[in-house]
């Protein structure tokens, strides 16, 4: 939460897209998606979705009270045949751990993708904070909250 920051979600998302554009990544897809705030009949909130293969980075940014909040989530979305097979008991475990195991390469590219997208979020925040003459984010505020993404390390 950045107190006193006044910005639209669209402006913030546009700034992130520009920041990612300088890297000329050919294997990412950026789009706006509406995700439910709760159950099936709940309201929807617009997120910026950045995808690279099965990795997905969602950014939510919106005015909140007298400030502006930003959250981001990294996840994995499996689609197609492998997603179907991975859900089958026993066979799914075999597919996930033997046929498609977690490798250093997969962990490294996930780390690069996470770092790059997080840096684009920070760059967008820095530009808007500076433009509005607000206090810069502290080092603690700039750090991503880390969760065990793969659940296998």
Asked if 124 contacts 117 with a C-beta cutoff of 8 angstroms, the reply is: no
Question: Each residue of 32-77: pLDDT tens digit?
Answer: 999 988 888 899 999 999 999 889 999 999 999 999 999 999 988 8
Is pTM, for the whole model, over 0.85? Answer: no
pLDDT digits (tens, 9 = 90+) for 66-88: 999 999 999 888 888 878 888 88
The structural domains of the chain, ordered by start, are: 2-137 (3.30.310)
Enter the tokens of residue 44: 């929807």
């Amino acid at each position: 939460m950045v107190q006193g920051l006044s910005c639209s979600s669209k402006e913030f998302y546009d700034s992130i897209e520009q920041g990612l554009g300088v890297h000329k990544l050919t294997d990412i897809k950026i789009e706006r998606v509406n995700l439910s705030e709760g159950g099936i009949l709940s309201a929807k909130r617009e997120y910026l979705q950045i995808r690279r293969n099965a990795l997905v980075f969602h950014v939510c940014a919106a005015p909140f009270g007298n400030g502006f909040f930003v959250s981001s989530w990294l996840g994995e979305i499996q689609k197609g045949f492998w997603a179907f097979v991975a859900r089958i008991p026993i066979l799914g475990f075999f597919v996930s751990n033997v046929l498609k195991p977690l490798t250093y390469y997969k962990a490294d590219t996930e780390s690069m993708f996470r770092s790059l997208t997080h840096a684009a979020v920070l760059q967008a925040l820095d530009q808007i904070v500076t433009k509005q003459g607000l206090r810069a984010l502290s080092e603690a505020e700039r750090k991503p909250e880390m969760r065990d993404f793969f659940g296998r390390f």
